[in-house]
């Protein structure tokens, strides 16, 4: 077990509901609200939902140093414990999957299960090129960045159903809500490799692939599942934004997994 300083390590938290605790770890460039928003109300009917924003996202102060996965895992757990949760399932999304895995290994007395969605253990060359392009655009025009992010985040079917006006409105929203800590978060994506951690995961784990994902290759998420002993595999017919495209189905998978372990 790794000890954390509960007085200084916490992240800004969104807390809703009552019941068994579910802790949300969001992805790079996002927030709890952006990545999990449509799930908060339905999950909070059965669970205490605790979402923690990464440094530079939401109300969490931006980091003055590069982000570190161990530090984020410790701070995620410290935040949940501060909010009254002693044992909990961690629901990771995208980069949050790596945070969740590391939290389970560093804090086995608190983390009792994992739900990992659209995640990866390490990037392949194609995905790394996409992420590097994302980082390059992050230092320039916000609208150009938002157009690129939109093209990768949303599945082709979902994009195809949007009108021109809807797509432009979505792009404008992405540009306006880009978090201050985006660069540090993308840099952590580029350096993350938890491949050697996976065989040591012993808590029950559900890995969820996003079949239309254009940012994180679905083969990377399947490799994440294959590397974790006895992990259960499921899929959503969505792009990299299941909260927008498949919120109901995603919620049900989380609920079913968590309820079977109570």
What pTM does this model have?
0.94
Question: Strand, coil or helix: what is 224?
Answer: helix
Whole-number pLDDT of residue 26: 98
Q: Does domain 13-125+179-259 have CATH number 3.40.50.300?
A: no
| Ordered DSSP codes for 7-54 | TT----EEEE--SSEEEEE--TT--HHHHHHHHHHHHHTTSEEEEEPP
* List of long-range contacts for 163-171, beta carbons under 8 Å, 24+ apart: 171/143, 171/146, 171/147
Give the distance from CA 166 to its chain's centroid: 25
Tell me what pLDDT residue 132 has.
97
pLDDT in tens, 183-230: 999 999 999 999 999 999 999 999 999 999 999 999 999 999 999 999
- Give yes or no for residue 1 having a pLDDT over 90: no
Report, as an integer, the average pLDDT of 92-114: 98
Residue 96, pLDDT > 70, answer: yes
* Per-residue pLDDT tens digits for 3-54: 444 444 679 999 999 999 999 999 999 999 999 999 999 999 999 999 999 9
């Amino acid at each position: 077990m790794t000890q954390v300083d509960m007085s200084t390590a916490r992240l800004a938290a969104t807390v809703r509901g009552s019941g068994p605790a579910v802790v949300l770890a969001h992805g790079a460039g996002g927030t709890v609200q952006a990545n999990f928003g449509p799930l908060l109300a339905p999950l909070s009917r059965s669970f205490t939902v605790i979402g923690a924003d990464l440094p530079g996202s939401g109300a969490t102060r931006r980091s003055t140093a590069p982000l570190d996965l161990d530090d984020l895992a410790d701070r995620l757990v410290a935040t949940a414990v501060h909010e009254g949760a002693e044992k909990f399932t961690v629901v990771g999304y995208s980069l949050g999957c790596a945070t969740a895995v590391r939290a389970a290994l560093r804090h086995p007395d608190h983390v009792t299960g994992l739900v990992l969605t659209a995640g990866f253990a390490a990037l392949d060359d194609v995905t790394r090129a996409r992420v590097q392009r994302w980082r390059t655009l992050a230092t320039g025009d916000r609208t150009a960045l938002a157009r690129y992010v939109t093209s990768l985040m949303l599945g082709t079917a979902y994009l195809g159903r949007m009108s021109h006006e809807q797509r432009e409105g979505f792009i404008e929203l992405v540009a306006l809500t880009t978090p201050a800590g985006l660069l540090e978060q993308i840099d952590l994506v580029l350096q993350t490799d938890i491949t050697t951690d996976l065989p040591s995961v012993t808590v029950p784990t559900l890995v969820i692939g996003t079949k239309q994902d254009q940012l994180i290759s679905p083969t990377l998420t399947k490799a994440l599942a294959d590397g974790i002993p006895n992990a259960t595999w499921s899929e959503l017919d969505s792009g990299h934004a299941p909260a927008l495209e498949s919120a109901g189905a995603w919620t049900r998978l989380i609920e079913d997994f968590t309820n079977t372990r109570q």
